[in-house]
């Protein structure tokens, strides 16, 4: 885990699962917006991209905690990477 688990639990307990799941979407949307600004307008916004990527990673950690799927996701990642590797090798 990249984030302090105690902070994640406190955030979920304080604001609730529903609000935190909406926050996952909000932070992903903010990252999408910065990527679009970078691509479409050639904006020099690396700092914003770093900021929003950090926000998304924190919220994805909360999402995994809310659904209790940390282990499942961790197990799925190498499977997905193998699929990418297979496509690269073709
Ligand atoms: Mg943000």
**What separation in Å is there between the alpha carbon of 58 and the centre of ligand 1?**
10
Q: How many domains does the chain have?
A: 1
The domain containing residue 14 runs over which residues?
Answer: 5-89
Q: 38 Cβ partners below 8 Å, 6+ apart?
A: 45, 49
Dump pLDDT digits (tens) for 45-83.
999 999 999 999 999 999 999 999 999 999 999 999 999
Q: Ligand 1 centroid vs 37 CA: distance in angstroms?
A: 15
Would you mind telling me the total number of residues written for the chain in this entry? 90
Please tell me the predicted confidence (pLDDT) of residue 3.
Answer: 74
pTM, to two decimals: 0.91
Taking the centre of ligand 1 as the mean of its atom positions, its distance from the CA of residue 6, in whole angstroms, is 21
Q: How far is the centre of ligand 1, averaged over its atoms, from the C-alpha of 30 (Å)? A: 6
CATH code, domain carrying 12: 1.10.287
């Amino acid at each position: 885990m990249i984030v302090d688990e105690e902070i994640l639990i406190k955030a979920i307990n304080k604001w609730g699962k529903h609000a935190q799941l909406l926050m996952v979407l909000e932070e992903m949307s903010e990252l999408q917006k910065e990527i679009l600004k970078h691509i479409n307008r050639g904006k020099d916004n690396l700092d914003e991209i770093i900021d929003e990527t950090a926000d998304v990673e924190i919220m994805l950690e909360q999402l995994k905690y809310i659904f209790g799927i940390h282990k499942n996701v961790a197990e799925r990642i190498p499977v997905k990477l193998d699929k990418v590797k297979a496509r690269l090798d073709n």
